[in-house]
A and B are shown apart, each in its own frame.
Chain A
Amino acid sequence: MTPVSVPCRKRWTASKTNGQNTGYTGFPPWVFALAAAGGLFVLLPLAAMVARINWGQFIPLITSESSLTALGLSLRTSAAGTVLCIVFGVPLAFVLARASFPGQRLLRAFVLLPLVLPPVVGGIALLYTFGRQGLLGRTLELAGMQIAFSTTAVVLAQTFVALPFLVVSLEGALRTAGIKYEAVAATLGAHPTTVLRRVSIPLVLPGIASGSVLSFARCLGEFGATLTFAGSLQGVTRTLPLEIYLQRETDADAAVALSLLLVAVAVAVVGLSRPRPRPLAEEAESE
């Protein structure tokens, strides 16, 4: 993650950075076969879906009012969910990676739980927390905040399932980075808050960025928890996945078209915003 340590790259090994990998790969050729099968396993269903698209109707289907409303809602709620993930996930990752306190492992296990929980379970849990009859819901209602059936509920559901993605990827980046720079910054007289703001966070910015992208993508795809917790109403809580689910009941063509739209948006987000490794090692080597 940090471009500091200059790896001592021996000239006789194949370099992949120049785009061509003609040398030694370090694994037997049959690994390629399995890798190809794995790739196909993911690509084939997508291709099958594309093959079923009614292209004549594609544009009208994805530009229908309900589709555009759902897409807009999905993008807005996912953006909000990602912001919440950053606000809470970055501190969580720091605490998990850098601090040590009793119950830390347990905390990590719980934070990562949504990764393995079926989303509908998350939805039920959120319902019993923020719902009208829920743990906090009653208090919130007295304070004039109604979360059930609101866009806020969608954002909460998305944040719940997406948070671990940011925490996991950032925690890894933080552990890899270590605290050498932070220690130096402290001995230079920087207050811990200054160290966090000017050293720690800039150093793991690529980790935060990739974690945010993953979280955004997860928010975009969130379905189960939203359906259980937020309901489904056009323009308010019916995000693109819920719209697809509903369209499937009556109009398979529309469902497939919207699925492709969702895939396209997800691929665009994940693919285009993936940070490229900076070629710093190269520069330092040439000195």
Chain B
Amino acid sequence: MTLDFNASLRARNFNVAFTMEATETVAVLGPNGAGKSTLLGILAGLIRPDSGNAMLGRKRLFKLDGGTNHFLPPHTRGTALLAQEPLLFPHMSVLENVAFGPRAAGANRSKALQTARHWLTEVEAAGFADRRPGQLSGGQAQRVAIARALATDPELLLLDEPMAALDIHAAPMLRRLLKRVLSNRRAIIITHDVLDALVLADRAIVLEGGRITEEGPTRRVLEKPRSKFAAGLAGMNLLPGTITGYGLTSDGGLDITAHPEDGAVPGQNGVAVFSPTAVSVFPSAKHGSPRNSFAVNITELEPQGDQIRVHAGGLSADITPAASADLGLMPGMTVYFVIKATAIAVYPA
């Protein structure tokens, strides 16, 4: 019962192929406009790709090539979509909203209401079954929307940033709820939040410019990112380049001294990854092995927790406000980023 998907849509420069198992939850990460929502739209049957082929278990969602022109309409796919907004039907009560899917699937009224009550209880929303959607808070409405999606018993649950529109107090509860209901269920969740990806997803796909740039177990993608975007999500500095005997030569021409991980072959494409907290900032060059020292031009200073994050030369460093004040850091200033060789991970990309 795997999902086997490949599709391309020229108008959106979208070309993606992947597979997933029956009970897997996949997080789709990527910058805005990377094609994440297009992916869900195509899976849900709301967007028609130019070409491609997708099987959900034994159900062929679409097959579009020169010869065949098969495209299942959304209501026959079993792919419930949960968007950023709850989109509860405003003219129905909460209970009727949740009963909508079972009713559409042919259940009689009492059976559908029974299913609806079950799922409302499951999302701890049984208390407002008789309310109108307009009387719910954002978090409550989104819980009801989850219940409504789950009540259809979807073969594939599609979640498009389900927590993006919630205030920060409502998010943790919803995250716990999703964690519970997504276990043993196949779901794809678009998120900008590392925490969501780590907590909810077994696997992460990084989508950039309509292509998959990285995929793997969520923890590995975030701990050992190979794409700039995943590194950014993980809060890491990432320099792509070529692995050398003593470290890596970045595509920008920086020579980085570090210990390449076992199995890394010189000449191979690789990345150097290090945390901003491992970067020290100096007003002048520091020499002496095993240190890396790069002259960089400060582009921006921003508060980061109780630290100051210094953005310079595409890298970032976290230093204390006191240190920043001592150095008199200003955008436009040239400073030196110094990183111990042992703090840099170099591995094949």
Interface residues of A (CB under 8 A from B): 2-4, 180-181, 183-192, 194-195, 198-199, 202-203, 205, 280, 283-284, 287
- The closest CB in chain A to the CB of B41 belongs to A183
Cβ 8 A contact of A190, one of B83, B85, B104, B137: B104
Q: Do A3 and B90 touch across chains, with their CB atoms under 8 A apart?
A: yes
CB distance from B51 to the nearest CB of A (A): 22
A189 touching B104 by the CB < 8 A rule?
yes
| A187 close to B158 (CB less than 8 A) | yes
What's the interface size class on B, roughly?
20 to 34
Across the two chains, which residue of chain B brings its CB closest to A179? Answer: B46
In the assembly, what is the distance between CA of A190 and CA of B149, in Å?
A: 12
List residues of chain B with CB within 8 A of the CB of A280: 90, 132, 134
Query: In the complex the two chains form, is B81's CB within 8 Å of A287's CB?
Result: no
- Rounded to whole Å, the gap between the CB of B273 and the closest CB of chain A is 39
Nearest Cβ on chain B to A3's Cβ, whole angstroms: 6
Identify 14 residue pairs between A and B in the complex whose beta-carbon atoms are under 8 Å apart, listed by A's number: A3-B134, A4-B85, A4-B133, A4-B134, A186-B75, A187-B74, A187-B75, A188-B148, A190-B101, A191-B75, A198-B100, A203-B89, A284-B134, A287-B135
Q: Is the CB of B87 within 8 A of A189?
A: no
Q: A284-B134, A287-B137 are in contact. Are A184 and B104 (CB under 8 A)?
A: no
CA–CA, A3 and B135, complex, Å: 12
Asked whether any CB of chain A lies closer than 8 Å to the CB of B79, the reply is yes
Max count, chain B CB within 10 A of own CB: residue among A186, A192, A194, A195: A186
A285 to chain B, nearest CB (A): 10
Question: Contacts A187-B74, A188-B104; is A203 near B135 (CB within 8 Å)?
Answer: no
Residue of B nearest to A199 (CB): B89
| B100 lies within 8 A of A186 (CB) | no
A188: chain B residues at CB < 8 Å are 75, 80, 100-101, 104, 148-149, 152
Residues of A with C-beta under 8 A to B158 = 187
Partner of B79, one of A187, A190, A192: A187
Closest-CB distance, B349 to chain A (whole angstroms): 37
User: What chain A residues lie within 8 Å of B81 (beta carbons)?
Assistant: 183-184, 187
Known A-B contacts A2-B90, A184-B81; A189 and B75 likewise in contact (beta carbons under 8 Å): yes
**Is B77's CB within 8 Å of the partner chain A?**
yes
Q: B66-101: which have CB < 8 Å to A?
A: 73-81, 83, 85, 87, 89-91, 100-101
Taking CB atoms, residues of chain B closer than 8 Å to A287 are: 135-137
A260 to chain B, nearest CB (A): 39
CA gap between A266 and B324 in the complex, in Å? 76
Which secondary structure dominates where chain A touches chain B? Answer: helix
B105 at the interface (CB under 8 A from A): yes
CB-contacts of B124-140 with A (<8 A): 132-137
Determine the distance from Cα of A273 to Cα of B319 in the docked complex, in whole angstroms.
67
Q: Which residues of B contact A187 (CB under 8 A)?
A: 44-46, 74-75, 77, 79-81, 158
Whether the Cβ atoms of B74 and A183 lie closer than 8 Å is yes
**Closest approach, in angstroms, between the C-beta of B44 and any C-beta of chain A?**
5
Q: What separation, in Å, do the CA atoms of A283 and B133 have in the docked complex?
A: 10
Tell me if A186 and B73 are in contact (CB < 8 A): yes
Q: Min CB distance, A136 to chain B, in Å? A: 36
The residue from B83, B101, B104 contacting A191, defined by CB atoms under 8 A apart: B104
Contacts of B46 in A (CB 8 A): 183, 186-187
Across chains A and B, which 3 residue pairs bring their CB atoms closest together, nearest first? A186-B74, A190-B104, A187-B81
Given A185-B89, A280-B90, A190 and B75 touching (CB < 8 A)? yes
Cα distance, A227 to B74, chains bound together (Å): 51
Q: Compute how far the CA of A280 lies from the CA of B104 in the bound complex, rounded to whole angstroms.
A: 27
* A283-B83 in contact given A188-B148, A203-B90 (Cβ < 8 Å): no
State whether A284 touches B135 (Cβ < 8 A).
yes
By a CB distance below 8 angstroms, the chain B residues around A205 are 91
Q: Which chain B residues border A3 with CB–CB below 8 Å?
A: 90, 134
| Contact partner, B100, options A4, A185, A192, A203, Cβ 8 Å | A185
CB contacts (< 8 Å) of A2 on chain B: these are 90
Q: Evaluate contact between A189 and B101: CB separation under 8 angstroms.
A: yes
List residues of chain A with CB within 8 A of the CB of B148: 188
Residues from chain A with Cβ under 8 Å of B77 in the complex: 187
The closest CB in chain A to the CB of B105 belongs to A189
Who on chain A is nearest to B100 by CB?
A188
B contact residues around A4 at 8 Å (CB): 85, 87, 90, 133-134
Q: How far is the CA of A181 from the CA of B91 in the complex (A)?
A: 11
* Chain A residues within an 8 Å CB radius of B149: 188
Contact B74 A283 (CB under 8 A): no
Quick one: closest B residue to A282, CB to CB? B134
Q: Could you tell me the distance in whole angstroms from the C-beta of A17 to the nearest C-beta in chain B?
A: 15
Considering the chains assembled together, what is the distance between the CA atoms of A202 and B101 in angstroms?
17
The closest CB in chain A to the CB of B138 belongs to: A287
Beyond A181-B89, A186-B46, A188-B75, 8 additional contacts (C-beta under 8 Å) are: A183-B44, A184-B81, A184-B83, A187-B75, A188-B104, A189-B105, A205-B91, A284-B136
Q: Nearest Cβ distance between residue B139 and chain A, in whole angstroms?
A: 10
Measured in the bound complex, the distance between the Cα atoms of B136 and A284 in whole Å is 7
Q: Complex formed: what's the CA distance from A190 to B76 in Å?
A: 8
For the complex, what is the distance from the CA of A185 to the CA of B103, rounded to whole Å? 11
Chain B positions within 8 Å of A186 at CB level: 45-46, 73-75
Contacts of A198 in B (CB 8 A): 89, 100
B100 lies within 8 A of A181 (CB): no
A154 to chain B, nearest CB (A): 36
Min CB distance A258 to B, Å, is 41
Q: Which residues of A contact B78 (CB under 8 A)?
A: 189
**CB nearest neighbor in B for A286:** B135
Question: Using Cβ atoms and an 8 Å threshold, which residues of chain A touch B85?
Answer: 4, 180
A203's partner among B44, B83, B91, B105 (CB-CB below 8 A) is B91
Q: How far is the CA of A3 from the CA of B89 in the complex (A)?
A: 10
B134 nearest in chain A by CB position:
A280
Name the distance in Å between A70's Cβ and chain B's nearest Cβ: 39
**Complex Cα gap A283–B137 (Å):** 10
